[in-house]
Amino acid sequence: MRNNLVKLFATALIAMAVLMFGSRSPLATAQTDVQAQAPSTTSGDRTVTVSGTGEVTATPDTAIVTLGVTTQAESAADALSQNNIKMQALINALKSNGVAAKDIQTSTIQLYPVYKSNPSANSQPTITGYQATNLVTVTIHDLANLGTLLDLSVQAGGNTIQGISFEVSDQTPLLEDARKAAVADALNKAQQLASLTGATLGDVLTIQETGGQPGPVLISESVAMSAAPVPIETGTQTIQLQVQITWALQ
């Protein structure tokens, strides 16, 4: 009789446990919850991203200038004919003094009427003649000869000089030096940031480069070529390049 009562009591306890906790035990449920809430602590989640700048300054070795002739005559044919003669003389003078044909390129040819306004408000302007313009873009590699070439172009009949600029012909080594400086700058910043936060740099994850395509820039530091008939100042050109690098932190 006593054994039967014990069995009935045990069965009742088991039934109550099933109703309260279902098919899982409280211990198993607690362990599962702890594992789901455990945060990730892998080092790959920690990174530092910095930008670096590299700058190199060089003296230009090439000049690009626009030269040309503008003529006027009563007829379009005369204006163009006179312009052709003077322009050919200008081109011949350039070639005779060291400028290669490949460095002379026609950039503008224009022929248009010249008008004169009439006093009467109702009268239309009248054509008094025609103007012809021919311009060439000239690349000059011998800067010591630049002033002389400008002077000779005027003597040959040229009456237009405009748009002169200076540049470094081969920028590849300058870009390489600027790139090295930019990476060194970024590395120095990243190492400092890592040290200040108690970390060390790991692998490089990403690198992005911007800049590096400079145009001619003239600044106050210049080189005067006073021996030339036309005084020329070449100035200096600054090439700047930026990189953005991301490192993993350890």
149: CATH: 3.30.70.2970
CA–CA gap between residue 241 and residue 214 (Å, rounded): 9
Please check whether residues 66 and 163 belong to one and the same domain: yes
Please check whether residues 19 and 74 belong to one and the same domain: no
Among all chains, which residue has been given the structure tokens 């789901």? 36
- Edge to edge, the sheet with strand 201-211 lists 47-58, 237-249, 201-211
Give the SS3 label for residue 157: coil
Which residues have C-beta within 8 Å of that of residue 39, sequence separation ≥ 6? none
CATH number at residue 212: 3.30.110.170
Question: 5-36: per-residue pLDDT in tens?
Answer: 445 555 555 555 444 545 444 333 333 232 33
AA letter at 126: T
Using alpha carbons only, how large is the chain's radius of gyration in Å?
Answer: 40
Question: 133-165: per-residue pLDDT in tens?
Answer: 999 999 999 998 899 999 999 999 999 998 889
Bridge partners of 54, per DSSP, are 241
Q: How many structural domains does the chain have?
A: 3
CA angle 175, 176, 181 (to 5 degrees): 95
Query: Which regions of the chain are under pLDDT 70?
Result: 1-44, 121, 212-229
The boundaries of the domain holding residue 8 are: 2-38
Please check whether residues 92 and 23 belong to one and the same domain: no
Please check whether residues 162 and 194 belong to one and the same domain: no
The answer to whether the beta carbons of residues 94 and 138 sit under 8 Å apart is yes
Please check whether residues 31 and 76 belong to one and the same domain: no
Pick the last residue of a domain from 167, 198, 220: 167
pLDDT reported for residue 97: 93
In Å, the largest CA–CA distance within the chain is 141
Please check whether residues 158 and 195 belong to one and the same domain: no
pLDDT reported for residue 186: 96
pLDDT reported for residue 32: 27
pLDDT reported for residue 8: 52
